[in-house]
Structure 1
């Protein structure tokens, strides 16, 4: 049985203005039809070689016919069994959900990101301002980007890459990284970007799991003022049994490399033989575009598969809605900067496909934000006239620690028109610092909530809003919908903590887990299969206005004597203390209360408090801001907290290290070296005090 199907014929589409979804319709059926018509219209902003005949089909995880059930009632009684109970009693009725958007349509992602802008007469517009960590700079126009992408596509074709092949890209933030990514997409192949700082083990898993034919890497990368060798990790990753035929190597640092003749090829040699003329093929909308790996609490990383037409539609629309100048006549003055590493899904959506599909000028930066000094980002904003600055709360908190007296006045940040955060919920203190210091306390703030799975922003304030709430994700964007429910799938009341689910997904939603569709079902759809909800894995609550506050991962909820506490709220209380730069809070088992709170804090360099004083002050701070029930039982001072490349604190690792249990997957850490310092701090703390 197919659910949510629209068969509106699509005439040959042409780019058009982006409409805004109208207010609530008369009933659920008309509201759903309105949602599909909205995405049908947004897809027309792209160039399609062949129109689609069906906007959307969704086959849910639970087959109503198999269980002789009716479609779920959103106002169903709380006495209805949860989907997990249903699954236990009728396993045969569960199936992997099937999602399809714009069936019958054909397009090419790279053509939409580059060629169409050149054809529209914008070939001389700057696409990329590149700044390398050592200070080298390049600017690349759309015409130059098209030439390079076409050459790269010809070079990849010469290496045997065809539609459906997987290409793993193990590179830092370089112009070449974007060029190769678009060239892979141009051929209908599937790319999987891997952070250049990941270990050989993490890379090896991704090479083998994807069955990649080609690995693209570099001789080295500049990081924190050093030329770090990279090729050796690539060599280890492709040793043993795999499908790799070639390793394509970019010369970046001049670091010495081991060379396997016949397998290894220099990038510049491959491009020397390739021309700039390339005729792009157009592919079905559901052609896989990329595999994005995200780590789970248990098990190996999950390879989420995103497809071309739906992903590009939502990436392009949401980028324009959130970041483009509200006056279309002024958009040529936009300079966008998403600070994410290109291997992170945020960079895919808001640094590659979203901005480039909209013909935007943007900045890409190879280095770390405090190399060679903590003001590097401010220099870049001033140099290129950045208008939208999109970054992670962890970086904002670092800037707060580096500049306790505020941003020095000699930096000119007046070009900034909009600020945004992404990765996890931003602490109100960090939100206010960012807006006051970089936006003169007046610019719009888009605090975006979304995931690798959703592919694009789900919740965010609008830039046009006039009443921003520090740390509040606000409400769903047009075309998607969410609800907050209890464990049985029943809507919760305002002020009550629950689970956020997506009940109206957008076209960028991941379609499956690569090579493991059962894990896709089990991880995201099984729990609320009866209702057809996507389980996001975060806790949330509505405030009195109906706006949504994200409270952190479900696994991180702290339950003390029946009181459910949010890690984000406790961390925000800690960060609001002037001596704390960063905080990670985790629950640990307690025989009396169920959970106890353990806090890991990074202190400001200027802090001169001793361990006992830190304990006393920070426990009192949490008690004052939240209540005595939330006071940490332990406060451990650490040099850093473990973070993923998306800027999320891996709180489960903190709990596992504190309790001495085996660590789960750590391959997605951006700062794996922090674990040694945290372990030493825990040993020192536990040697003096008991938790």
Structure 2
């Protein structure tokens, strides 16, 4: 824990030169924040949406069963895209998509609306109606983005699934959500090779009792097997008439599965509360209609849904999507995207900054990034040194501004780290360029955003400052899930939501996350359930039992350690997890033991976490595993 505190916490506070005259002192922020916790705050923010019928009650119910803007009705699609019709935004660029292979497509808001309307008819032709779930296992090509908006348009809630998850993980989500339709691409390029998505879908559907229709979007034009009556190609579907729907405020808009200690749990966000919170936070973090915005986090993560698919379009910004990763065709491809499209707001992850900071600095220096005005980051805790790298090397630019000094890499624009979680729906912390910008604390996710009653407490629920505690939310927020699993409900204790992360809150309310307090793994921003990895490993011949826990990883923040009882080849274990759960969950270490105690898995995982940190007087078996791991290393 001491190592974490040294890596992630800083007493320094930074005022970027370009925000020298916009920064407010802590006392002013505290006054704004206190006022924002009054009920009328979110009523005011929700009034910026277009309501077909006004709500009759702001909020009702007890956590976790809370509903916002009760009795209100709205068209989600009109609030995302349709509202721009007849304005200057309608004919400006909405989406620039750049494929890994160099293919580029651009769409105005009018173009995107026409595509979404046509695809609404295709979804209806396939039997998808109001309230029917649509699952997406596809990268965000323009067609996929338009299909998601089409689902919103007809009142069909949807769930995107990261294509890095394996067929077993996908099968569990299908069985749990039971979608009417599953959307996939034939394949997509990754580092020049075809990732055959449709083949993974076919494997997954062999494991499920529920078999949805499958809609295939052509991306690479490769041959795929089509099963009659089940599989359809988007270009071959004849659209029918499909009207834009108006829904009640708590109508599910979209959902995601998230990792808990003992498995995958489902949450869904309601249209009214979620869109009110999304529109507010998107404006606050700095997006405006004339901005060009590049986000490297894609749908499949909550960030990619809220701040790619919904928020920027609600504001009217131009959204840039790059299909590939940061390293192909070269390590400066993201810098090239920023420069080529004059991006001024850039959102990425702490993990990406770790990777990029280790590359040849000449790759960065060869690009002019003077147009950037904001760097936003998220996903997992960020070490102070990587915040400083982004601030000084990416954020300084080449042209002096106010008192920035490019030759000394003095920094010029803010690097704002923020906290988000699937259940919360949006960013809920951070210094806000377009609302209440306070000095930035390197390594922190900033103070709570207005409207969110966030604190750090000890085991008795009392606020603590300057030392680790549990990150909590003390009262309901508009984007609260309207559907959820029992695991989410258990996170509520006495009207307080325990986020599941350890953190330190400073006296000026800056929050420094330290990682999970439970046994869920945080890998490159994804919450991976240890139970799912254990299930995959236990299916191997000769394996009698398995326990998975997160190891501190210098790149991913955490990576899985798997302890196996029985006859098991570590490479077979890695292969099985990679195939079944996905490459993101591949174990970095496998330890084979003669025994695993017959105790609850959660207790064993927690004992292992403590033993791996070198704590004394612990579970003998956990100490034995930690000792064996160190000897192997």
Same fold (TM over 0.5): yes
CA separation of 1:541 and 1:109: change in aligned 2, threshold 3 A: same
Q: Does 1:533 align with 2:536?
A: no
Instruction: Return the match for 2:478 from 498, 503, 507.
Output: 507
CA distance in 1 between counterparts of 2:431 and 2:581 reads 29
CA distance in 1 between counterparts of 2:149 and 2:289 reads 22
Cα drift, residue 686 of structure 1 = 5.6
Cα drift, residue 113 of structure 1 = 1.3
Q: Does 1:472 align with 2:436?
A: no
Q: Secondary structure at the match of 1:436?
A: helix
Q: Does 1:520 align with 2:488?
A: yes
Q: Does 1:57 align with 2:60?
A: yes
CA deviation profile, 1:48-89 (whole Å, cap 9, x unmatched): 1111111112314xxxxxxxxxxxxxxxxxxxxxxxxxxxxx
CA distance in 2 between counterparts of 1:207 and 1:305 reads 15
Q: Does 1:178 align with 2:145?
A: yes
Instruction: Return the match for 1:427 from 369, 383, 393.
Output: 383
Cα drift, residue 116 of structure 1 = 1.1
Q: Which has the higher contact order (CA 8 A, sep 6+)?
A: 2
CA distance in 2 between counterparts of 1:434 and 1:356 reads 27
CA deviation profile, 1:118-172 (whole Å, cap 9, x unmatched): 2334221110010111110011110010001111111111111111111111101
Partner of 1:412: 368
CA separation of 1:117 and 1:432: change in aligned 2, threshold 3 A: same
Partner of 2:425: 455
CA distance in 2 between counterparts of 1:184 and 1:687 reads 48
Instruction: Return the match for 1:363 from 317, 320, 326.
Output: 320
Cα drift, residue 543 of structure 1 = 2.1
CA distance in 2 between counterparts of 1:138 and 1:672 reads 29
Cα drift, residue 47 of structure 1 = 1.3
Partner of 1:225: 192
Within a 5 Å distance, the mapping from 1:628-639 to structure 2 comes to none
Partner of 1:78: none
Cα drift, residue 197 of structure 1 = 2.4
Partner of 2:631: 689
CA deviation profile, 1:556-604 (whole Å, cap 9, x unmatched): 79xxxxxxxx999xxxxxxxxxxxxxxxxxxxxxxxxxxxx997666xx
CA separation of 1:137 and 1:484: change in aligned 2, threshold 3 A: same
Cα drift, residue 117 of structure 1 = 0.6
Partner of 1:128: 95
CA deviation profile, 1:77-115 (whole Å, cap 9, x unmatched): xxxxxxxxxxxxxxxxxxxx3111111111122221111
Answer whether contact 1:211 1:242 (CA < 8 A) is retained.
Answer: no
Answer whether contact 1:155 1:274 (CA < 8 A) is retained.
Answer: yes
Structure 1 gap ranges (5+): 1-20, 61-96, 325-330, 558-565, 569-596, 603-640, 644-648
CA separation of 1:231 and 1:439: change in aligned 2, threshold 3 A: same
CA distance in 2 between counterparts of 1:112 and 1:123 reads 14
Instruction: Return the match for 1:654 from 554, 557, 561.
Output: 561
Cα drift, residue 506 of structure 1 = 1.9
Within a 5 Å distance, the mapping from 1:234-313 to structure 2 comes to 234-239=201-206, 241-270=208-237, 273-274=238-239, 278-298=242-262, 300-313=263-276
Cα drift, residue 407 of structure 1 = 4.6
Answer whether contact 1:294 1:668 (CA < 8 A) is retained.
Answer: no
CA deviation profile, 1:496-540 (whole Å, cap 9, x unmatched): 221111013321122332xx4x33322x11xx22xx100001111
CA distance in 2 between counterparts of 1:290 and 1:539 reads 28
Partner of 1:585: none
CA separation of 1:679 and 1:372: change in aligned 2, threshold 3 A: farther
CA distance in 2 between counterparts of 1:666 and 1:534 reads 33
Instruction: Return the match for 1:37 from 27, 30, 40.
Output: 40
Answer whether contact 1:541 1:548 (CA < 8 A) is retained.
Answer: yes
Q: Between 539-548 and 354-363, report the one with greater CA deviation.
A: 539-548
CA separation of 1:600 and 1:484: change in aligned 2, threshold 3 A: closer
Cα drift, residue 237 of structure 1 = 2.0
State the aligned residue count: 529
Partner of 1:316: 279
Answer whether contact 2:256 2:422 (CA < 8 A) is retained.
Answer: yes
Q: Secondary structure at the match of 1:50?
A: coil
Q: Secondary structure at the match of 2:370?
A: coil
Within a 5 Å distance, the mapping from 1:533-572 to structure 2 comes to 533-555=496-518
Partner of 1:627: none
Partner of 1:380: 337
CA separation of 1:188 and 1:239: change in aligned 2, threshold 3 A: same
Partner of 1:71: none
Within a 5 Å distance, the mapping from 1:396-411 to structure 2 comes to 396-403=353-360, 405=361, 407-411=363-367
CA separation of 1:442 and 1:381: change in aligned 2, threshold 3 A: same
CA distance in 2 between counterparts of 1:254 and 1:335 reads 30
CA deviation profile, 1:326-374 (whole Å, cap 9, x unmatched): xxxxx44301111112211101111111111111111011111111111
CA deviation profile, 1:377-404 (whole Å, cap 9, x unmatched): 000000111111111111000001123x
CA distance in 2 between counterparts of 1:680 and 1:519 reads 29
Answer whether contact 1:149 1:183 (CA < 8 A) is retained.
Answer: yes
Q: Please report the TM-score for the alignment, with normalisation by the length of structure 1.
A: 0.71
CA separation of 1:227 and 1:181: change in aligned 2, threshold 3 A: same
Q: Please report the TM-score for the alignment, with normalisation by the length of structure 2.
A: 0.77
CA distance in 1 between counterparts of 2:257 and 2:239 reads 31
Partner of 1:446: 416
Cα drift, residue 278 of structure 1 = 4.7
Instruction: Return the match for 1:488 from 443, 448, 460.
Output: 460
Cα drift, residue 468 of structure 1 = 1.4
Answer whether contact 1:316 1:357 (CA < 8 A) is retained.
Answer: yes
Q: Between 173-182 and 548-557, report the one with greater CA deviation.
A: 548-557
CA distance in 1 between counterparts of 2:270 and 2:363 reads 42
CA separation of 1:165 and 1:498: change in aligned 2, threshold 3 A: same
Partner of 2:533: none
CA distance in 2 between counterparts of 1:240 and 1:658 reads 26
CA deviation profile, 1:279-318 (whole Å, cap 9, x unmatched): 31100010011111111232x2111111111011111110
CA separation of 1:283 and 1:132: change in aligned 2, threshold 3 A: same
